[in-house]
């Protein structure tokens, strides 16, 4: 789904040393009594001897004190570090500074432990999203400038600068800057936080989400508009995870670690190893099977890229393998069932999954990209400026939604900003504008326009952002707060699907770096 994920491995390794135990500025003075020898108890002068022995004992005592003090002075002069350590161990640590706390959230590069280090509090963030402390994943100097990465032997990707893109992986400060720079605002960020809260409130005890969200014990039907996909837990879970991951929340970082961990655990447990890769479709037998595989794979790939968790990475590679083997060998597309002749809607999700896997540096055959390009050519109309759903249907008409999906795939597979057909397609979307009842179209078209940039993006974004902020249920709506009423002609996923797509659309400012304007991006820190 994302083109250019931040690739943690390309980012400079932090050079910060492990957090030092805070040391007191001035070592405490040694207790006076501690260094004195027990002379008074061991040498008890007899009364008759006291007259001449007293000055002698005092002299000895003074000499001994002087020797001990001299030895101490030598230690201080020769090894101040040792002294510092001695005093540090006996001194109560001071409260760590804020900077140290933030550094402590940085994690080493090679983490394979899926257990979160700590579970952050899950307080309501809906009104405070922009101000609340989020994940500190990277140094603020990381992120945007480190974009170049090897495009490897992917001819289909020539011209795309692959590199750090999924920026929820950035620090709060960078994220904030990107929100401002690319057209978000505090209202859109509050909306994202509120949407996540709703998702958190509807996670089931086994870690999954359901398109029949109302079956959650706390919801008890307070939130209407269950989806019609009643037996699709992996699909719903993949979708909810994407909303969290898009905001930079993983099972190891951020405010929703426990939720993401339980969701990822559920997916991995539900996945079925097969001869053709890891099958994430669950018990789905209807048309949504390969959709589910696609979006669960994107979730695993994004999580693998952000966390470097080897368990997630392995699952993501298995899931990619399944997608590669499910591609139709003739037309290069995907459809409901593995190896069916393709349609562009399912193909769009699989292309996004493969690209996420590529950006996460996962292993899978890249010939899939070339074959997918073949399919796009079959599905194009107007020379590639518009797209149809099913190229096998004679004279199939292009549609706005398929055009948005097709153009985004084209961008991912190498069309650049100078491509006239891409420019025509963008003009077409620009005229259509964000739709009040087609979130699927809005989601894809928003990404196309964001990557394209310029005044087209500015125009699009203001309408899209404000429409989403305006139509979200506010806090006063109780359990519904943070969700969106279904407004989509493809709405089998109900309120949960609508809420996930809306949150992801509002995460566009930092989820993806716009691919054609990176050289112009300068984020001030």
The β-bridge relationship of strands 277-279 and 272-274 is: antiparallel
Shortest spacing between CB 116 and Zn ion, in angstroms: 26
Tokens 């519904």, residue?
480
Based on the shown chain and the rule CB under 5 A, indicate whether residue 495 belongs to the binding site for Zn ion: no
Identify which of residues 112 and 222 has a Cβ nearer to Zn ion in the complex.
Answer: 222
* Rounded Cα gap, residues 439 and 501, in angstroms: 7
Tokens 């280090």, residue?
117
Shortest spacing between CB 498 and Zn ion, in angstroms: 13
Identify which of residues 105 and 219 has a Cβ nearer to Zn ion in the complex.
Answer: 219
Shortest spacing between CB 482 and Zn ion, in angstroms: 10
Identify which of residues 36 and 222 has a Cβ nearer to Zn ion in the complex.
Answer: 222
* Of residues 489, 476, 487, 482, the one with CA closest to residue 202: 482
Per DSSP, helices labelled H in 24-168 are 39-42, 50-78, 80-90, 98-104
Shortest spacing between CB 217 and Zn ion, in angstroms: 10
How big is the site for Zn ion, counted in residues (CB under 5 A)? Answer: 4
Angle at 409 between CA 408 and CA 411, to 5 degrees: 65
Element (H, E) at 272: strand 272-274
Q: What is the footprint of Zn ion within residues 40-59 (CB under 5 A)? A: none
Q: What is the footprint of Zn ion within residues 219-278 (CB under 5 A)? A: 219, 222-223
* Of residues 431, 482, 504, 508, the one with CA closest to residue 127: 482
Q: What is the footprint of Zn ion within residues 314-343 (CB under 5 A)? A: none
* Rounded Cα gap, residues 499 and 400, in angstroms: 21
* Rounded Cα gap, residues 149 and 138, in angstroms: 18
Element (H, E) at 509: helix 508-511
Identify which of residues 479 and 512 has a Cβ nearer to Zn ion in the complex.
Answer: 479
Identify which of residues 429 and 481 has a Cβ nearer to Zn ion in the complex.
Answer: 481
Based on the shown chain and the rule CB under 5 A, indicate whether residue 479 belongs to the binding site for Zn ion: yes
Identify which of residues 402 and 480 has a Cβ nearer to Zn ion in the complex.
Answer: 480
* Of residues 422, 347, 431, 345, the one with CA closest to residue 385: 422
Shortest spacing between CB 479 and Zn ion, in angstroms: 4
Based on the shown chain and the rule CB under 5 A, indicate whether residue 485 belongs to the binding site for Zn ion: no
* Rounded Cα gap, residues 344 and 402, in angstroms: 7
* Rounded Cα gap, residues 304 and 166, in angstroms: 12
Q: What is the footprint of Zn ion within residues 83-112 (CB under 5 A)? A: none
Identify which of residues 3 and 483 has a Cβ nearer to Zn ion in the complex.
Answer: 483
Shortest spacing between CB 137 and Zn ion, in angstroms: 30
Shortest spacing between CB 481 and Zn ion, in angstroms: 9
- 230: number of CA atoms within 13 Å, CB side? 2
* Rounded Cα gap, residues 446 and 426, in angstroms: 11
Identify which of residues 216 and 335 has a Cβ nearer to Zn ion in the complex.
Answer: 216
- The interface region with Zn ion, picked from 28-36, 156-164, 255-263, 478-486 by CB under 5 A, is 478-486
Q: What is the footprint of Zn ion within residues 169-228 (CB under 5 A)? A: 219, 222-223
Identify which of residues 146 and 201 has a Cβ nearer to Zn ion in the complex.
Answer: 201
Identify which of residues 222 and 337 has a Cβ nearer to Zn ion in the complex.
Answer: 222
* Of residues 418, 516, 504, 523, the one with CA closest to residue 166: 504
Shortest spacing between CB 496 and Zn ion, in angstroms: 10
Shortest spacing between CB 162 and Zn ion, in angstroms: 40
- 175: number of CA atoms within 13 Å, CB side? 30
Q: Are 249 and 260 in contact (CB under 8 A)?
A: yes
Identify which of residues 79 and 222 has a Cβ nearer to Zn ion in the complex.
Answer: 222
* Rounded Cα gap, residues 475 and 189, in angstroms: 15
Shortest spacing between CB 212 and Zn ion, in angstroms: 11
Euclidean distance between the first and the last CA atom of the chain, given in angstroms as a whole number: 28
* Rounded Cα gap, residues 315 and 324, in angstroms: 14
Shortest spacing between CB 237 and Zn ion, in angstroms: 17
Identify which of residues 9 and 222 has a Cβ nearer to Zn ion in the complex.
Answer: 222
What is the DSSP code string of 55-90?
A: HHHHHHHHHHHHHHHHHHHHHHHH-HHHHHHHHHHH
* Rounded Cα gap, residues 57 and 332, in angstroms: 100
Shortest spacing between CB 132 and Zn ion, in angstroms: 23
- The interface region with Zn ion, picked from 108-116, 266-274, 479-487, 493-501 by CB under 5 A, is 479-487
Judged by the rule CB under 5 A, the positions of this chain that interact with Zn ion are: 219, 222-223, 479
């Amino acid at each position: 789904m994302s083109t250019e994920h931040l690739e943690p491995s390309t980012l400079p390794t932090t050079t910060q040393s492990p957090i030092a135990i805070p040391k007191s500025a001035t070592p405490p003075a040694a207790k006076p009594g501690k260094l004195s020898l027990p002379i008074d108890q061991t040498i008890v002068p007899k009364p008759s001897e006291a007259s001449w022995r007293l000055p002698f004992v005092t002299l000895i005592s003074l000499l001994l004190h002087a020797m001990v003090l001299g030895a101490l002075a030598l230690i201080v002069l020769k090894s101040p570090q040792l002294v510092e350590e001695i005093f540090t161990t006996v001194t109560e640590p001071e409260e760590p500074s804020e900077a140290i706390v933030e550094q402590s959230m940085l994690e080493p590069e090679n983490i394979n432990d899926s257990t979160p280090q700590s579970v952050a509090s899950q307080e309501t963030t809906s009104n405070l999203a922009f101000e609340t402390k989020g994940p500190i994943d990277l140094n603020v100097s990381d992120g945007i400038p480190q974009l170049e990465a090897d495009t490897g032997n992917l001819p289909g990707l020539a011209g795309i600068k692959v590199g750090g893109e999924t920026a929820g992986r950035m620090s709060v400060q960078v994220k904030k800057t990107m929100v401002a720079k690319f057209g978000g605002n505090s209202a859109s960020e509050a909306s994202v936080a509120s949407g996540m809260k709703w998702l958190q409130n509807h996670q089931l005890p086994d870690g999954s989400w359901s398109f029949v969200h109302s079956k959650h014990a706390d919801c008890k039907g307070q939130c209407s508009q269950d989806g019609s996909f009643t037996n699709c837990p992996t699909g719903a879970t993949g979708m909810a995870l994407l909303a969290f991951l898009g905001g930079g929340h993983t099972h190891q970082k951020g405010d929703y670690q426990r939720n993401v961990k339980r969701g990822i655990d559920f997916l991995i447990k539900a996945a079925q190893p097969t001869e053709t890769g890891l099958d994430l479709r669950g018990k789905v037998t209807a048309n949504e099977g390969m959709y589910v595989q696609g979006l669960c794979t994107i979730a695993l790939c994004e999580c693998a890229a952000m966390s470097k968790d080897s368990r997630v990475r392995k699952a993501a590679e298995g899931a990619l393998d399944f997608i590669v083997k499910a591609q139709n060998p003739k037309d290069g597309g995907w459809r409901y069932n593995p190896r069916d002749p393709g349609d562009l809607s399912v193909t769009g999700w699989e292309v996004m999954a493969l690209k996420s896997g590529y950006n996460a540096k996962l292993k899978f055959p890249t010939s899939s990209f070339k074959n997918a390009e073949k399919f796009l050519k079959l599905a194009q109309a107007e020379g590639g400026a518009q797209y149809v759903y099913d190229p096998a249907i004679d004279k199939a008409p292009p549609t706005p939604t398929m055009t948005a999906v097709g153009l985004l795939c084209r961008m991912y597979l190498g069309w650049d900003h100078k491509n006239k057909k891409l420019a025509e397609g963008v003009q077409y979307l620009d005229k259509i504008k964000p739709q009040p009842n087609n979130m699927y179209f809005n989601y894809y078209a928003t990404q196309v326009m964001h990557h394209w940039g310029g005044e087209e993006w500015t125009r699009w974004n203001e309408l899209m952002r404000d429409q989403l902020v305006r139509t979200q249920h506010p806090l006063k709506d109780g359990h519904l707060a943070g969700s969106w009423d279904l407004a989509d002609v493809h709405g089998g996923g109900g309120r949960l699907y609508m809420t996930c797509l809306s949150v992801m659309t509002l995460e566009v400012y930092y989820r993806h770096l716009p691919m054609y304007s990176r050289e112009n991006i300068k984020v001030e820190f």
